[in-house]
Amino acid sequence: MSIIRIIAVGIAILLASSCNGQATDSETIETTISQSSERYAHYLGNAGVMISDGETKLLFDPLFEQNFHIYQKVPASLQAKMLAGEAPYDDVDVLLISHAHGDHFSADMVLAYMSANPLVKLVAPKQAVDKLAVAGLSKTDMTRVTAIDQQIADKPIIVQIGSIMIEAITIPHSGGQRFADVRNTVYRVHLQNQYQVIHLGDATIENPPFAKQQEFWDEQSNELLLTPYWLFKNPQRQANIDVHIRPHRSIGIHVPTALHELKKRYGSALDEVDLFTKPGEERDLNSIENEN
Ligand SMILES: [Zn+2]
């Protein structure tokens, strides 16, 4: 069950001296490097995160083309590795798309990813799947897709993919009326040992939509929350996290690259929180098991 990924690097250095009757000395130095832990979060860019848990790998909002000159893109080299299924992006089980906005989702890139990675499954709101259909999603590939067709405040839709259980609810997109038509899917993915990960997409700052889903938040322990940074701004917004979801741990995503400018507007609100800002950075997610 547990696979600790360890690279053992054995370096044998043989120091031999043969001249002038000196003693022959031999020494072996063995170095063990413990790589990333079994369960970890790996940042891609904007709201894109890979969660790896033993044999399970998930990609949230990993393939997009737009950043509106504000947000962190996935670097080209990292994107190429992902598309090629190269480590650490090999053997991905599921792609999860929060919504069909250009800074979270590119239909062309998702299609390319699916054809390059023929075993991967996709879970996405119907609005994104409709865009995939327009972009040329084949009937065969459609069998790997689960389209979430859901309204705000609906009960969760449960998707089972192998041993991975995914719950989906729909929380309004931030920005009020401007994005009222956008279906923003929030996922809670169940990993091994009752470890649940939630990705909020571009969830609203308003409290009532979160309050309406209180039963959902309370049903399970919510170990890790991946939240747009804007919920950290003030106590009213933070209530969505602290009062409603109540996760063990939160990491802010969707952080503008000009973080120093953002901090001018946010005062000290972002000083004490954990933010993903550099593609490739990781967080060890094993520690929760020790807290119980
Ligand atoms: Zn959006």
Alpha-carbon distance 141 to 119, whole Å?
Answer: 10
Assess if residue 76 is contained within a domain. Answer: yes
Collapsing DSSP states into helix, strand and coil, what is residue 262? helix
pLDDT digits (tens, 9 = 90+) for 3-49: 443 333 333 333 333 333 343 343 333 333 334 469 999 999 999 99
d(CA 42, ligand 1 centre) in Å? 21
d(CA 6, ligand 1 centre) in Å? 38
Q: What is the pLDDT of residue 7?
A: 36
List of E strands, 97-183: 121-125, 145-148, 157-161, 164-170
d(CA 102, ligand 1 centre) in Å? 8
130: nearest Cα among 99, 154, 104: 99
Average pLDDT of the chain is 88
List the shell of residues around ion ligand 1, using CB closer than 5 Å.
101, 202
Alpha-carbon distance 164 to 159, whole Å?
Answer: 8
d(CA 258, ligand 1 centre) in Å? 19
Q: What is the pLDDT of residue 288?
A: 57
d(CA 47, ligand 1 centre) in Å? 10
Assess if residue 10 is contained within a domain. Answer: no
Q: Are strands 164-170 and 157-161 parallel, antiparallel or unpaired?
A: antiparallel
User: Where residue 147 sits, what CATH number does that domain have?
Assistant: 3.60.15.10
- Total structural domains in the chain? 1
Q: What region, left, alpha or beta, does residue 242 occupy, with left being phi > 0 and alpha being psi -120 to 50 degrees?
A: alpha
**pLDDT above 70 as % of the chain:** 86
Alpha-carbon distance 17 to 39, whole Å?
Answer: 47
d(CA 157, ligand 1 centre) in Å? 21
d(CA 191, ligand 1 centre) in Å? 26
pLDDT digits (tens, 9 = 90+) for 69-88: 999 999 999 999 999 999 99
Assess if residue 9 is contained within a domain. Answer: no
Alpha-carbon distance 59 to 88, whole Å?
Answer: 12
Predicted model pTM: 0.86
Assess if residue 151 is contained within a domain. Answer: yes
Assess if residue 195 is contained within a domain. Answer: yes
d(CA 45, ligand 1 centre) in Å? 14
Assess if residue 121 is contained within a domain. Answer: yes
Assess if residue 269 is contained within a domain. Answer: yes
d(CA 277, ligand 1 centre) in Å? 18
CB 56 within 8 A of CB 1: no
Alpha-carbon distance 274 to 190, whole Å?
Answer: 22
Domain of 234, in residue numbers = 39-290
Assess if residue 18 is contained within a domain. Answer: no
pLDDT digits (tens, 9 = 90+) for 144-186: 999 999 999 899 999 999 999 999 999 999 999 999 999 999 9
Q: Please report which confidence band the pLDDT of residue 283 belongs to, taking 50, 70 and 90 as the band edges.
A: very high
